[in-house]
């Protein structure tokens, strides 16, 4: 859905491509950041169980303060089609309180679906896409540059028994 939205002619495509370069270089240029990205990518699994990110890993990623590549002047350029993880959290506080270095605690509300509902949603599509838990910006970039058939073959290759 995100890739379709980017192709739909909205200004989100150039925003993402520019933001993705910055996002990726933030990891490549920071020795503390690259292990966090590798840990996130390590959640691709060949088993039927979906691995869950630990809260510690999410906190480590947040502390890096790397802007989302979909942001355009502080606003989400894909707001209409944002992922569930983004849509299920929102802040009632000023943006400066949400930064990791803020001394104030922001008022964050969560409407995250339960694990049962997330698993039901996962059952609506090919489970291999849900077990391939590559960070969203990398997956979207691959889909844009390589196309669905090639990325699909790569993901299927992860699950082929050898």
**Structural domain span for residue 63:** 2-157
Q: What is the pLDDT of residues 29-64, one digit of tens each?
A: 999 899 888 887 766 544 444 455 566 777 788 888
- Domain presence at residue 138: yes
Residue 40 lies in a domain: yes
The answer to the question of residue 42 being in a domain is yes
Contact 113, 84 (CB under 8 A): yes
Residue 162 in any domain: the answer is no
Q: Report pTM.
A: 0.67
- Looking at the structure of the chain, the number of domains it has is 1
Residue 100 lies in a domain: yes
Looking at the domain assignment, is residue 21 inside a domain? yes
Q: What is the dihedral of CA 117, 158, 139, 144, to 10 degrees?
A: -130
Q: How far apart are CA 13 and CA 32, in angstroms?
A: 29
CB 51 within 8 A of CB 133: yes
Please say whether the beta carbons of 106 and 98 come within 8 A.
yes
> pLDDT by residue (tens digit) across 57-94?
777 888 888 889 999 988 889 988 888 777 777 778 88
């Amino acid at each position: 859905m995100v890739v379709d939205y980017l192709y739909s002619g909205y200004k989100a495509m150039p925003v993402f491509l520019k933001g993705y370069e910055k996002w990726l270089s933030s990891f490549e240029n920071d020795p503390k950041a690259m292990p966090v990205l590798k840990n996130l990518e390590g959640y691709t699994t060949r088993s039927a169980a979906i691995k869950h990110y630990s809260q510690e890993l999410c906190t480590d990623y947040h502390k890096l303060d790397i802007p989302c590549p979909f942001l355009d002047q502080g606003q989400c350029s894909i707001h209409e089609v944002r992922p569930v993880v983004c849509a299920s959290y929102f802040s009632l506080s000023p943006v400066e309180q949400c930064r990791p270095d803020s001394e104030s605690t922001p008022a964050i509300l969560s409407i995250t679906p339960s694990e049962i509902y997330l698993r039901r949603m996962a059952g609506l599509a090919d489970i291999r896409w849900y077990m391939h838990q590559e960070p969203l910006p990398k997956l979207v970039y691959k889909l844009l540059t390589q196309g669905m058939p090639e990325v699909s073959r790569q993901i299927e290759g992860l699950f082929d028994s050898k």
